[in-house]
Amino acid sequence: MRLSYFPRPRISLLYIWPWFKAVPALKKTVAPTKKQEVDAFNPEESAAGEVQSGKPPPFRIGDVRAAIPSHCWVKDPLRSMSYVLRDAVVVALLALAATSLDSWTFWPLYWFAQGTMFWALFVLGHDCGHGSFSNSALLNNVVGHLLHSIILVPYHGWRISHRTHHQNHGNVDKDESWHPLSEKTYREMDSTSRKMRFTLPFPLFAFPVYLWRRSPGKEGSHFLPSSKLFRPGEQQDVVVSTVCWSAMAASLLCLSWANGPAPVLKLYGVPYLVFVMWLDLVTYLHHHGHRQKLPWYRGKEWSYLRGGLTTIDRDYGWINNIHHDIGTHVIHHLFPQIPHYNLVEATTAAKPVLGKYYREPERSAPLPFHLLGVLLRSLRVDHFVSDEGDVVYYQTDHQLHGGRRQKLK
């Protein structure tokens, strides 16, 4: 019997889809003193009983691992493939319904539903990249390429950079995705780039740009085997994924030439944008936006466990099952080998060990509209971290969204 982790509504028609289980002036910062680090996170302002977020935990990662039942680590390729089949059937049925009805009353619903299903396909390909889909590297790579290529993601290029993200989560200097900007990098950005990074809707469309150019302050591309992202032995894999991506892009261009761009845009283009918005929203909020300021680490203060404990679980309401419980993010980050269908149970088992270092997600309504408010608040206050210090917290550029504009000196 499936263990309940996130509360879910009892009855809804949505259970059939799919079935449920010149730039502003900034003050120059210096290395924070111990008092400043305490001021950056004031435990009196946090929820009662929460621990100071930068304090090392009293347990080891082996203690967390030991608390998780052994069967949670077992990968069932047939079960994994059943989720692929489920999502593929839903994607096909939605496309068939949209083309049959061809109604502007239905198109917006289709775009949201199909874009969400594209996101679900991405999560399954993400499991392939982690090796949690099955014990077969061949099966993982074949399924991963199919799932990611059809949504224009270069499988191996992304898989490798995502591995870097997991290996360095919470590390200011080495993390790969949605890591904080150092003040130096932030100050070097032009005004337009700053505003776009921290003003909706632009951050929700960052993923394609990240694939091509990575994040500010980092060089390389997910498509080029010569990129600094990849080791020499990984370059052939990157070539294969880039060829698969190019084949999908060429197929879309041929379909547009044969049938006109409008049908392709309605059936594929808009859902693709919805998928990108889901991806950016979810990945950003798994590392930002908690009511309690969370630390980022450098140097000797960083460890795999401390970095993983700064990730955040989220409740997505009805969407939890559709996108394969990706909201159970803390345990996923610590142990990415656990299949997605066991993450809920693994999280429940690990919580007694994690104690106050685990942050309970805010319960969602059927649709997670509350997360838009969390996103907006984070974009207003989480701008950069100090260039110095081994335990740092986000700081705010109060001039970014208003106030008198001054010239940086």
Cβ contacts of 80 within 8 Å, gap of 6 or more: 124, 127, 133, 134, 339
Looking up tokens 């000196």 gives 409
In a domain, 2, yes or no: no
Looking up tokens 């009293």 gives 58
Q: Which domain holds residue 363?
A: 76-395
For residue 105, the model assigns a pLDDT of 95
In a domain, 133, yes or no: yes
For residue 17, the model assigns a pLDDT of 39
Instruction: From first to last of the 409 residues of the chain, give the pLDDT tens digit.
Output: 344 444 444 333 333 333 333 333 333 433 444 333 333 334 334 443 445 567 899 999 999 999 999 999 999 999 999 999 999 999 999 999 999 999 999 999 999 999 999 999 999 999 999 999 999 999 999 999 999 999 999 999 999 999 999 999 999 999 988 889 999 989 988 888 888 899 999 999 999 999 998 877 788 899 999 998 899 999 999 999 999 999 999 999 999 999 999 999 999 999 999 999 999 999 999 999 888 888 999 999 999 999 999 999 999 999 999 999 999 999 999 999 999 999 999 999 999 999 999 999 999 999 999 999 999 999 999 999 999 999 999 999 988 876 444 443 3
Look up the pTM and report it: 0.85
* Cβ atoms 40, 393 nearer than 8 A: yes
Half-sphere exposure of 333 (CA within 13 A, CB side): 27
In a domain, 329, yes or no: yes
* Cβ atoms 211, 221 nearer than 8 A: yes
In a domain, 359, yes or no: yes
In a domain, 335, yes or no: yes
User: Comparing C-alpha atoms, which of 247, 81, 209, 220 is closest to residue 157?
Assistant: 220
* Tally of domains in the chain: 1
For residue 29, the model assigns a pLDDT of 38
In a domain, 35, yes or no: no
Tokens of 71: 């069967």
Looking up tokens 């590297």 gives 137
How far apart CA 168 and CA 357 sit, in angstroms, is 19
- Stated length of the chain: 409
Tokens of 190: 């032009």
Tell me how far apart the terminal alpha carbons of the chain are, to the nearest angstrom: 63
